Each structure stands twice: as C-alpha cells, then as structure tokens.
Amino acid sequence: MASHRKWSPPGSRRTGIRTPVLATAALTSVALLSQTANAAPPAEPRPSLEEVEKKVDDLYHQAETATEKYNATREKTAKQRKRVDSLLDDVARRTEKLNTAREELGSFAAAQYRTGASAPGSASLLLADTPQDYFDQTQLMNRLTTRQKAAVDDYVTEQASTSKKREEASRSLRTLTTSQDALKTSKADVQGKLAAARDLLSKLTADEKARLAAIAKKKREEADREAARLAAERSAAEKKARDTAPPPGTSSGTTGTSGTTATDSSYTAKAGKAIAFARAQVGKPYVWGATGPGSYDCSGLTQAVWKAAGVTLPRTTYDQVNAGTTVPLSAIEPGDLVFFYGDISHVGLYVGDGMMIHAPKPGAYVREESIFYGGESIIHSVVRPA
C-alpha cells in the first residue's frame, strides 16, 4: 500500500521547532546587542599639548590668585586673634577688679547690718549676686559714707563696662571663627588648583614633556628680546636727557626721562639694598603663603626685600600695588615693583635691563627673569614703593 504522508520541502518550519540557520542568526543578534549595551563609553579625545599648557598655566594663575586671597585672610585672622586675646585679657582684669570691689562693698553692708540699719539677710544678698539691688535701698545708702557711696558708684559703672567688654569679646570670637573657616576654605582652594595642575602634568609622556620644555624655552627667548628692547629704549632716553641737560648751576627742574619725576638719591640707595637682598634669595623655593627666610611666595618676597631696605610694605599684592607711586613702564627704575594680570595676583622686583627677580609659581625657585615672561599684555602696572 502506498504511503499517504504529505511531503515537506527542505528548510520548512515544523510546529515548535526553529531551523538551525534561523536560530544561529538570532543568537548572533542577541550577542551583538549584549556587547553593545555593555561596552564602555568612548574615551574623550586626548587634549593637545597647547591645551594642556594653557590649562596648567591657568591653574597656576588661579592658585596664585587663591594664594593672595589666603594671605589676606590669614593676615586678617591674625589681627582678629590678637584683638580677641587682648579683649579676653581685659575682661579678666576687670573681673578680678570687680571681685575685689565686691568684697569691699560686702564689708560695708555687713557693717550696716551689725548696726541694725538694714534687715537681716540684706548683707548676704549683697554678697551673693545683686549688690546694686541691695544698695539701691534708700535706708542703706543714707547710712553709707561719702567714700562708700563713691565706691558703690564705681562698682556699678565698672560692672556695666565689664559687661560691654564681655559682649565685645563674644562678638570678636564669632568673627574670628568665621575668619578661620574662610582661611580653611582658601587653603583648600589653593591646594585643589595645584593638585589639578600636577595631575595634568603627570599624564604627559616623556616626548610631550620635552616638547613642553621647548615651548617654554621659546617663550623665554622672546621675553629676553623684549627685555633687551626695553633696556635699549631706556638707555637711549637717558642719553638724550644727558645731551639736552642745561649747563651745571642752572635750574633743570625735577623731571627725568619720559617726563616723569626723577628718582632721588635716597630711593636709589634703598633700591640698591632691596636688589642686593633679592639676589641673595635667588634659588630659594616658591612656597605659597611663605614670607622667608627659607622660601617665599611672590608678595612675601617683595615685602621681605623692601623690608631689608627699611621700607615696610603690606602683605598682599592687592595692597602693595597701592603702597607707592604708579609710574609708566617707559619710566621704570631698578627697585620698582612690577604687578601682573588684571586681578593683580603676581609681583616682581625690577632690577634693570628689562629684568626682575620674583618667586614665579609652585614648583619653581626665586629667579631673575624678563618682566615680559608672559608677554607685555599681562603687565598691570609699575609702582615705586619709597
């Protein structure tokens, strides 16, 4: 008997069964989707060397700005701490004086009690907490001598004054606490900027570091050329001034080259002392917040060098820029302070021929360098401090 089973073409689908070809394709698709889902996000493009250099320079500049803010806050905090200490000492002396006066007033009250001028218990009230309430009683006050009444008045006055001093000390303590918190914040800000700069530099390859050094060298060479140009211009101006000077014995006024006030001999002498001190600091490390003698930040150095010449400067660049006479760059003289950036966050001591001595930045050392190290555009002003 012939078979009646129906013929099925190859590759056809039976109920509940998927052909091997389709199953393999499905599994492959699932695997690819799974790999795509679990793949790490694409890495960010590596910054160019120029971008790294700019970012590092910006971070160092921000760190120096934060350093000057830290210096200002630390100076303010130190002054507040001295004031608090002084107030607390004053309150302690006043309290001791009040205790002595209180004992004397207690003896007055006790004497009055023994004579029957007051009710029992009044003396003990005086000797406890509220002597003024007790002495306000007319009966007792009428029996006190003139000297005793004066002692009572003095006590009441001193008590009120001491209370005010205590309140003032409490306010100063709260202000000091706020300043100390701000000091911690400023310190953390500086440290954060420096850590970010170090992190960027640590990721450079040896070749990138070499290229970065080459870029820095090229900038120094350009800065040195600018310094030489300034020196030549100053020399030419001085020669012209000498050639056109009136004969000896005639009045020539007090203007120097470029129409500015000429420096006098006393300034020249002081500037010489400041420069000599600065040269002795060359090679010492930059440490933010430092004022010497082993290390300096930029304003700590300029403060120290002029102190050696007998001139007291404020601590920060923000204050030093106002501690003297502003002169144009064309009239700059050795000893002048050169300030940089719009936020006045850096300063150096001009030593002549377009050069200065300064504490550059973290990781560097006090050195002599062109005032054009970052280009003329970042020079903010020139100040003659004495």
- The residues carrying an active-site annotation are 298, 346, 358
> Where would I find the H helices in 144-250?
146-202, 206-243
Distance of CA 333 to CAs 66, 284, 352, Å?
A: 29, 25, 7
**Other residues' Cβ atoms within 10 Å of the Cβ of residue 149:** 14
Distance CA 352, CA 231 (A): 8
| Per-residue three-class SS string for 91-121 | HHHHHHHHHHHHHHHHHHHHHHHHCCCCCCC
Cα 60 from Cα 373, distance rounded (Å):
15
Contact predicate 281/356, CB 8 Å: no
Phi, psi of 348 (to 5 degrees): -140, 165
> How wide is the angle at C-alpha 350 spanned by C-alphas 384 and 264, nearest 5°?
45
Which has the closest alpha carbon to 98: 167, 166, 173? 166
CA–CA distances in Å: residue 340 to residues 194, 349, 366: 20, 12, 17
Q: Which helix (H) or strand (E) holds 321?
A: none
CA distances from 250 to 110, 198, 245, 366 (A): 89, 62, 10, 45
